[in-house]
Amino acid sequence: MSRSLNIAVIPGDGIGQEVVAQGLKVLSAALPQDVKLETTEYDLGAQRWHRTGETLPDAELEALKGHDAILLGAIGDPSVPSGVLERGLLLKLRFAFDHYVNLRPSKLFPNTATPLAGSPEIDFVVVREGTEGPYTGNGGSLRTGTPAEVATEVSLNTAYGVERVVRDAYERADSRPRKKLTLVHKNNVLVYAGHLWKNVFDAVGKEYPEVTTDYLHVDAATIFFVTQPERFDVIVTDNLFGDILTDLAAAVTGGIGLAASGNINPTGAFPSMFEPVHGSAPDIAGTGKADPTATILSVALLLRHLGFDAEAVRIEEAVSADLAGRDGAFRTTEEIGDALAVRVAG
């Protein structure tokens, strides 16, 4: 009997196409022989929007639901007004598919350049809330474009939404050797949302007596990211703070060329979506300079999410070995993909 894996692919814009091609190559190489890989490409992003004015039509949103998971390259192009594709496509997917766990691991691989002196040991994971906070699009503006304009952004937070992501973070912390969970918020200023987060964090914590907990304001957290990143194990935080902290985390662990992420619906009600943290980098699109490693590590997260743990580990070990062997010589996007596919298959 043969199994099959049914993956939706959204290459998107800029370097998206190039890195996704390498991601799929490594995915094929990693899968057990008896698993048939089926992929369906969805033409979404800047070009589609220019051509048709559409970002994510209902029919395609519906079709995407039928897949086991989604692999996304990158969305965004300077020719599209800021916010159109982010809100209309990327965030629409995260919200429609209830991706309430935005999982972003940060690991400083051996031999990887970090801007930090002394190459500290870094191995933590940020569990970013993905469906609430200041990302709900709840806001507006009055007298727009006049000197009397008022614009609001409303951060929405629910016990329902906070509890489920906090619980996921405790589970992850509990399964890691150090068993440490840090809540990051700004509860001395954002007192309503902050107290909700803190109260839920403390309450759920009672069910995980082995997990050591800690709280940091987001401003203080950025300090520790550069002075003491080894203090972190699992971090749970809101949508916006998570966005900011994970770019900083990527920077200190060798750059966004390596940062993977998963937009996960742990219940399985909707397909989860995996994407590199980096953007579409239109300035280097087509030059072969894009590092596909972040996408390939996102493929590892995809595999682990679907239960292919051993295959995920194989990819991560291949990346680790590949990085350890890098000598600074330039390799194209495809060369890196090929090298990793060979290691994974071998």
Ligand X SMILES: CC(C)[C@H](C(=O)O)[C@@H](O)C(=O)O
Given 42, 100, 135, 170, which residue is catalytic? 135
Note whether 243 binds ligand X by CB under 6 A: yes
In the complex, the smallest distance separating the C-beta of residue 292 from a second copy, rounded to whole angstroms, is: 19
List the binding residues for NAD(+).
279-291
Only one residue has tokens 């799929």, namely 24
| 186 tagged catalytic | yes
Interacting residues with a second copy (CB under 8 A):
76, 82-83, 86-87, 91, 114-118, 134-135, 137, 139-141, 143-160, 163, 186-196, 198-199, 218-220, 222-223, 225-227, 240, 243-248, 250-252, 255-256
Catalytic residue, chosen from 202, 214, 219, 309, is 219
Would you give the distance in Å from CA 319 to the centre of its chain?
18
Residue range at the interface with ligand X (CB under 6 A); choices 85-93, 141-149, 252-260, 330-338: 85-93
The Cα–Cα gap between 263 and 90 comes to: 10
d(C-alpha 24, C-alpha 30), whole Å: 10
The question of whether 338 is a catalytic residue gets the answer no
* Residue partners of 174: CB distance under 8 A and separation at least 6: 208, 210, 211
Q: Confirm or reject binding of residue 123 to ligand X (CB under 6 A).
A: no
Residue of 85, 18, 30 whose CA lies nearest to 299: 30
Indicate the residue among 66 and 139 with the shorter CB distance to a second copy: 139
261 and 246 in contact (C-beta within 8 Å)? yes
CB-nearer residue toward a second copy: 5 or 74: 74
Query: What is the bridge-based pairing of β-strands 69-74 and 101-107?
Result: unpaired
Q: Are strands 234-237 and 123-129 parallel, antiparallel or unpaired?
A: parallel
For ligand X, the closer CB: 168 or 275: 275
Q: What is the number of other CB atoms lying within 10 angstroms of the CB of residue 30?
A: 25
Query: For every residue of 31-88, which 3-state class applies, written as one string?
Result: CCCCEEEEEEECCCCHHHHHHHCCCCCHHHHHHHCCCCEEEEEECCCCCCCCCHHHHH
Q: Residue 142 or residue 223: which is nearer to ligand X going by CB?
A: 223
Does residue 189 bind ligand X (CB under 6 A)?
yes
307 binds, among ligand X, a second copy, none (CB under 5 to 8 A by kind): none
| Interface of this chain with ligand X, residues 129 to 188, rule: CB under 6 A | 188
What span, in angstroms and rounded, lies between the C-alpha atoms of 238 and 197?
9
Q: For ligand X, which stretch binds (CB under 6 A), given 2-10, 37-45, 86-94, 149-157? A: 86-94
Q: Which of a second copy, ligand X, none has residue 79 at its interface (CB below 5 to 8 Å by kind)?
A: none
Out of 41, 60, 68, 86, point to the residue binding ligand X (CB under 6 A). Answer: 86
The one catalytic residue among 68, 123, 174, 247:
247
140 binds, among a second copy, ligand X, none (CB under 5 to 8 A by kind): a second copy
Quick note: the x/- pattern for ligand X over 266-285, rule CB under 6 A, is: -----------x--------
65 counts as catalytic: no
Strand order from edge to edge, sheet including 212-217: 35-41, 3-12, 69-74, 272-276, 260-264, 101-107, 123-129, 234-237, 180-185, 212-217
Interface with ligand X, residue 219, by CB under 6 A: yes
Tokens (6 digits) for 233: 């194990």
Query: What span, in angstroms and rounded, lies between the C-alpha atoms of 26 and 340?
Result: 7
Q: Indicate the annotated binding residues.
A: 94, 104, 128, 219, 243, 247, 279-291
Catalytic residue among 25, 186, 238, 322: 186
| Catalytically active residues, by annotation | 135, 186, 219, 243, 247
Interface residues with ligand X (CB under 6 A) are 86, 90-91, 188-189, 219, 243, 277
